[in-house]
Chains A and B, each alone.
Chain A
C-alpha cells in the first residue's frame, strides 16, 4: 500500500507540474488663424481652438478668482462659497458656439470668457446678485445666448431670441460683440509661451492617455470641436477631486482595488462619511485588497503552472464593490451594463459611480478604473458628437479622459450607493 501511495503522489506531482500542453515539444481642419505673435526666432500662428477655454478650465479659473477675492477681503464671499453649476453661454447663431461660461455660485456668479484673447477673461462677476438670464424661464433644450457684457437672450431653437424684458429679436439682427473684442495680443506672454510649446510638441502617441478632450478630438477627428454637454457632480465643486494612483501601493495587478479605493474616497469626501474620511488611502486600499483576497474577487498572483498572472475578475467586480462599501457601512447596489452614451448618461444623471472595465484597450489593455463624469463635444464642420468619459485611471494622480468610441465593446458596473 505504501508503494501504491508513493506512486500516486509521484503521479500527482507529475501531473500538477505538467505543462498544460503536454504534447508541446521542448521547442526551442481648422478655422482661419485668429492671429499671430512674432518672437525673435519664429512666427507662431494660433488657431481658435488653441485659445479656447473648456468648461473644466473655466471652473478652475473661477476657483482661483474666488480664492483671490476672498484673500483680498473685498466681497461677501468666504470659505463656504462654492461652485453650484457651470452653464455654457452661446452666441446668437444656432451652431452651439460657446462665448463664455456662467459659473453659478452659492452666492453670486462669475462669467468667464470661452476664449483667452479677451482683454479680461472675467467678463462679469457679483458676490451677491444672480446673472440677468435668471429673470427668464427656461425649458429643457433652451440655451442662454450671451453676446456682450450683461446682454443675454433665451434661444428656444427658432430664428428669434427672447430678451429678459420679454422683447423678441431676430437672430440675424443680433451681433456678437465678443468676436471683435478678441485679440491675440491680449494673451499674456507667459501663457503665449506655454501655448507655443504645446503647439510645437510632437504629435501625441496614438495610445497615449487623454488629458484634454478638445485637443484629442481636434487632432483625431474632423473638427474643430465645441462643447456640447457634460455631467460632472464630483469635481467641479470648490474642493478638487482627489485621485489615487496604483503607484501609491506596493501591490501587483491592482487596478481593480485602486478603482474601488478611488470610489470609496470620492464618495466619502463628497458625502462626509466619517468611517471613510477617518482612514488613510493606504488603510482604505488594504481593506479593499483584504476583501478581494478573502472572497477571490482579486488576486495579485494567480499561478497558472509556473507562471504568475493576476487581477480582478470582471464578472465578480460588482459583488466586490458591494462588499467594500458594506465594510464602511454603506449600501452599493451594482448593475452591469454595456458602455454606450445612453447608459453612461443615465447612470451619471442619477449620480451613480461607474466602475469601467476595458479589455485589450489600445491605451489601457485589460484595465479597471472609476468613472464619474463625461464631456460631450460636437464638430462644427461635420456635426459629429464625441463623448469622453472622465476617469480616475489609476495611472495618474490627475483625472484622465477616455474616448467613448474606443470602449463600446466593453462593460461597466453601475454602483448606486446609499447610506
Chain B
C-alpha cells in the first residue's frame, strides 16, 4: 500500500518535471525560431562580423544613455571579441515587453543593417534568446560606459 502511494507521488513529480522541461524547451524553440537578426545566429559562435563592413560597434549605458563608439583599431578588436564569443548555455525567455535595461551593444554595417543586444556581465540577449556566457565576458564593453 505504502509502495503504491510512493509510486503515485513519483509519477506526479515525474510529470511535473517533464512538463517543466517541455515548457522550457518549447520556449527555447519558439524563441530560436523567431530569432531574426542581421548579425547574430544560434550557432556555436554567435557572430561572424567582417570588421571592414562594419560601420560602427558601440556600447551604451541604459541608466545614463552614455554611448561609446569603437573606432579604428578598437573597432577591429571589438568585432574580434564578438566573433570570439562562445556561450555556455542558451535560454528562451517569454516575449513579454518591458522597459528598462542596463547595457547594450549596437552594431551597424555599411549596408545600413542595424541591431542592438542587451548585455550583462555573463549574458547576451538576441530577440528572446538569451546566451549565457562566462562571467566577465562583456566587461571590456561595459567598462567603457559604466558609472560603477
Contacts and interface: CB of A to CB of B under 8 A. Distances in A.
Interface string A327-370: 00000000000000000000000000000011110101111100
Which of A252, A311, A313 has the most chain B CB within a 10 Å cutoff? A311
Interface string A227-253: 000000000000000000111000011
Nearest to A305: B91
A207 B55 CA distance: 13
A207 B65 CA distance: 11
Contact of B92 (A15, A20, A26, A314): A20
Contacts of A254: 63, 100
A74 B139 CA distance: 61
B116 A312 contact: no
Contacts of B87: 24, 27
**Residue from B17, B69, B104, B125 with most neighbouring chain A CB atoms (10 Å):** B17
B89 A24 contact: yes
A8 B16 CA distance: 11
Contacts of A310: 98, 100, 102
Contact of B97 (A26, A28, A245, A357): A357
A209 B116 contact: no
B17 to A, nearest CB: 6
Interface string B87-113: 111111100111111101010000000
- Chain B interface helix/strand/loop/mixed: mixed
B97 A359 contact: yes
A21 B63 contact: no
Interface residues of B, number: 46
Contacts of A313: 96-98
A11 interface: yes
A180 interface: no
A205 interface: yes
Contacts of A317: 99
B11 interface: no
A393 B102 contact: no
A207 B106 contact: yes
B130 A307 contact: yes
B97 A22 contact: no
A306 B132 contact: yes
B33 interface: no
Which of B67, B69, B90, B147 neighbours the largest number of chain A CB atoms within 10 Å of its CB?
A: B90
A30 interface: no
A262 to B, nearest CB: 14
A312 B89 contact: no
Interface string A11-39: 11001001111111011100000000000
Contact of A365 (B27, B86, B93, B104): B104
A395 interface: yes
A253 B25 contact: no
Contacts of B62: 253, 255, 365, 367
Contacts of A305: 89, 91, 130, 132
Interface string B12-51: 0100010011001101100000000000000010000000
Interface centre among A12, A24, A209 (most CB of B within 10 A): A24
A396 interface: yes
A27 B86 contact: yes
A24 B100 contact: no
Interface in B61-88: 62-65, 67, 69, 86-88
B118 interface: yes
Contacts of B92: 20-21
A393 B65 contact: yes
A230 to B, nearest CB: 24
Nearest to B108: A206
Contacts of B147: 247
A256 interface: yes
A252 B118 CA distance: 14
Given A4-B6, A15-B21, A359-B97, A20 B64 contact: no
Contact of B24 (A18, A309, A357): A18
Interface string B125-148: 100001010000000000000010
Interface in A358-402: 358-360, 362, 364-368, 393, 395-396
B147 to A, nearest CB: 7
A207 B114 CA distance: 11
Given A4-B6, A246-B63, A312-B99, 14 more contacts: A15-B21, A19-B90, A21-B28, A24-B89, A205-B67, A207-B67, A254-B100, A305-B89, A306-B122, A307-B120, A308-B120, A312-B98, A315-B96, A395-B63
Interface of A: 1, 4, 8, 11-12, 15, 18-24, 26-28, 205, 207-209, 245-247, 252-256, 298, 304-315, 317, 357-360, 362, 364-368, 393, 395-396
15 contacts: A4-B10, A19-B88, A20-B91, A20-B92, A21-B25, A21-B92, A23-B28, A27-B44, A305-B91, A306-B122, A307-B122, A309-B93, A312-B100, A314-B99, A368-B100
Interface of B: 6, 9-10, 13, 17, 20-21, 24-25, 27-28, 44, 60, 62-65, 67, 69, 86-93, 96-102, 104, 106, 114, 116, 118, 120, 122-123, 125, 130, 132, 147
